[in-house]
Amino acid sequence: MQTTIDQATFDELKETAGADFAVELVDTFLTEAPVMIAELHRAFAAGDAETFRRMAHSLKSNGNTFGACAFAAMARGLELGGLASVRAEDGAPLDALDAEYARVAHALTELKGG
């Protein structure tokens, strides 16, 4: 099974940007991501394809930054698949993203503490 956060990616981030800064960046992500995910849900409900794609794109980008590979892959799936891909599975991909985010948030919180 894939780890939630790729340790090597996260370590590299800490090394190049500084440990303190990495903590600040994680905190920013933990504040911003729930807002983007909520916006993703809203866009799905409203049939707003443009916002849906942009939010998924942004979450993918941030996921890659922290080494949240599974999370980033799911967000990428939403970016490429669009509203239709979520409708086809009756909202399941969005639920999966929510669940993966919970794991990512937990793992990042642990990592920044350590």
Partner 1 sequence: MVDAYAGDGSRTGAAARLLIVDDNKVNRLLLTRSLELLGHRVATAQNGRAAVDAMRHEPFDLVLLDIEMPEMDGFQVLEQVRGDLALRDVPVVVTSSLEGLDNVVRCIELGAEDYLTKPVNPVLLKARIGASLEKKRLRDQQKEFVRRFAAPEVARDLQESGFALGGKRVHASVLFADIRGFTPLAESQAPEETIELLNTYYTLMFDAVAGHGGLVSHMAGDGLMAIFGAPVGLSNPGDAAVRSALEMIEMIELFDVEQRSAGKPEIRIGIGIASGEMVAGYTGTNARATYTCIGDVVNLASRLEQHTKEARRAILIDAATRETLLSSLSPESLGAVALRGKTQPVEVFAL
**Residues 59, 35: Cα–Cα separation, whole Å:** 11
Question: Minimum distance between the CB of residue 31 and partner 1, rounded to whole angstroms?
Answer: 8
CB of 80 to partner 1, least distance (A): 6
Closer by beta carbon to partner 1, 1 or else 84 = 84
Q: Does 45 bind partner 1 (CB under 8 A)?
A: no
SS (H, E, C) 20-69: HHHHHHHHHHHHHHHHHHHHHHHHHHHCCHHHHHHHHHHHHHHHHHHCCH
Site residues for partner 1 per CB under 8 A: 16-18, 21, 24-25, 28-29, 32, 53-54, 57-58, 60-62, 64-65, 76, 79-80
